[in-house]
Structure 1
């Protein structure tokens, strides 16, 4: 059953209220906040590549508060162990049995700060929970909270002592973006509120966690015209054939582009996807999934530039079928 125009209007109204609430904490970053909520309502995870002090923790906490959910922050370090994330089984002498102690991953929104500073073994502890929303410890499966979202960060400047995320793990992030520094006007507003600590600022809840699940299910019902599916397929195929690219976008990337385009369409009050939705999301959804040829990287080519060029070279559909 396709989403109705009335449902699309309600979705857009709630989405704007969610964004507006978080924007009071993360000033001047409406676009990033919209992308973050689009990732949440597309049932995906977000990778932020940013320098310290740009508001990543505030974003995760404010998003959790706005949906009446829980949030945890994990600082990734070289000595962090998988059990420090997922939890461990501890032997209880009184009951003569092992008792599972839950780790920080059991929250609605988990901030994995500087994820590339942990060892590959620890990074891989997130793979199962990001894909299947469950973890397995000592052969026992434990479901995590619903909704569930990982917001991972990595520092693009300091690479000493880091472990680059493998392509298989990058592919599991539905989007990659950055918050960046605020502009002059937003900085002035931040400085005017310098007497308030970030931890003291709270965001009123707009909806419940259960409503987030309902909105995600509603977003899946947004209509996608066959010509838009064809456009996404051609765009993804183009990434695989680009001269500068050694490894193009996966099928998971194509699915992520459709899923997020559906959510963005609903957030804009539409019950159908437009090619412009795909265009606006192509860079945050696909760029981190590409592996460039070493020579192209040496010449200063970036994945974002490749995506921009492919959007120019790949013509969008000129018409669509009636909804």
Structure 2
């Protein structure tokens, strides 16, 4: 089967130059607040440029809030942080109607989800009903309060976090909901050098509210990047490469060794192919190109697939990580 890419207006050199200047400004402003964590920075940029959302798994204290605030500040966007707890209600996130005795009317109070960048901290601590309300807002790009729809601002990015070391009192995210996140990033501890730099910056007061902000980009710049990403050229051979990788995940017994194939319970859905296409285009633009190459697809293969592959209990028993299966999938297909 041969797939064809959608025709689009080619990206012009002047547009590439403008994109490079915008991204350089954002990265510089982000780097002034966040030390290291280059993969997280790339994930946030990719999500911002594609309109997707990020699921972040890490232990506490690894600058998740700082990173989200930094990327929002770098583009002069509104930022809100929601701390999830078991008693958090959907109305606490999307908003509600409050009766005003003075006027005898109900006034609509929009919730914190009505911001450009939303940090949903420890999403697995909120109830299933609250998770559903948040994920619906992510998917529909609007909330409904009192029968009236309220569109969310553009751009809109959710960074949802999970703590992998503490599961008591949590509500596991169903696989169907995990699939709605564009990418999943696993965050690790900083290096010795990075941690020393973090302490030095804290002591210098760089995180104080009074600290001067670096020159930043704007919301219009982000919208420009989003429009440009959709026009990055995706060759039919690259599109075939993407679809083949996802197809192998669903038919592993035909392509992988029997021991590895047995670990996969369910493969990735077509959302994975869509995600690969969007992420590869964003990575191409980040690297100053107007076209996608195979390395753009492979570079974020773990982030795109690790939360979409459903492994059986044998994988957990044998300590087999999703990344091992993903690497085997890409090794089983030919690179265009």
Secondary structure of the 1:187 match is helix
After superposition, give the CA deviation of every residue in 1:181-234 in whole Å (9 maximum; x if it has no partner).
211111111222332273535643521112211210111000000000000000
The answer to whether 1:7 aligns with 2:15 is yes
Using the alignment, how far apart are the partners of 2:300 and 2:80 within structure 1? 27
The answer to whether 1:177 aligns with 2:185 is yes
Residue of structure 2 equivalent to 1:250: 269
After superposition, give the CA deviation of every residue in 1:88-126 in whole Å (9 maximum; x if it has no partner).
111122222211111110111000000001111110111
The answer to whether 1:274 aligns with 2:293 is yes
Q: Quick check: 241-250 or 52-61, which moved more?
A: 241-250
Per the normalisation by structure 1, the TM-score is: 0.94
The answer to whether 1:238 aligns with 2:248 is yes
The 1:25/1:197 distance shift into structure 2, 3 A limit, reads: closer
The answer to whether 1:260 aligns with 2:279 is yes
The 1:172/1:202 distance shift into structure 2, 3 A limit, reads: farther
Aligned length: 317
Q: Which runs of 5+ in 2 are unaligned?
A: 1-8, 253-260
> Which of 95, 106, 114 lines up with 1:98 in the alignment?
106
Aligned-pair distance for 1:178?
2.7
Residue of structure 2 equivalent to 1:198: 207
Asked if 2 retains the 8 angstrom alpha-carbon contact of 1:3 and 1:222, the reply is yes
Aligned-pair distance for 1:302?
1.5
Aligned-pair distance for 1:307?
0.7
Using the alignment, how far apart are the partners of 1:31 and 1:227 within structure 2? 27
After superposition, give the CA deviation of every residue in 1:235-262 in whole Å (9 maximum; x if it has no partner).
0011112222112111111101100110
Q: Which runs of 5+ in 1 are unaligned?
A: 318-323
Using the alignment, how far apart are the partners of 1:39 and 1:203 within structure 2? 23
Asked if 2 retains the 8 angstrom alpha-carbon contact of 1:49 and 1:176, the reply is yes
Q: Quick check: 28-37 or 250-259, which moved more?
A: 28-37
Using the alignment, how far apart are the partners of 1:170 and 1:299 within structure 2? 23
